[in-house]
Amino acid sequence: MTIMIVEVYEALRAIDVPDDKAKAAAQAVSQDMTREIGGLRSDIAALRKDMDAGLAGLRKDVDSEFRSVRSELAGVKSDVAVLRWMTATSIGLMLAIAIKIFVT
């Protein structure tokens, strides 16, 4: 049994289209819409699949970049630690020199 769009059928009957032709036209419109909706659903499913694949690739790229940034930050942290040590040593030496100059 085919599905018919009642509104289309009633509109055709309202303008005096014969009953059999109105039913056939309404059924044809319904079948076309069903086909189009089915095509749209498959297009949406394909798009969703493509987007999932693209997002997976994007996640992989972002994770790789975060790992790279983290490793670079580790290097910067070690450099900062060395600079702190050097600064503390320099300040200590300058204080020792200043004390030596002004105290003796």
For residue 6, the model assigns a pLDDT of 86
Where does the pLDDT of residue 1 fall: very low under 50, low under 70, confident under 90, or very high at 90 and above? very low
Where does the pLDDT of residue 95 fall: very low under 50, low under 70, confident under 90, or very high at 90 and above? very high
pLDDT tens digit sequence for 2-42: 566 888 888 888 999 998 998 888 888 888 888 899 899 99
Report yes or no: 3 and 30 within 8 Å, Cβ to Cβ. yes
Token pair listed for 18? 């014969």
Q: How far apart are CA 6 and CA 13, in angstroms?
A: 10
Domain boundaries, the chain: 6-103
Cβ neighbours for 27, distance < 8 A, ≥ 6 positions apart = 2, 3, 4
Mean of the pLDDT values across residues 56-78? 93
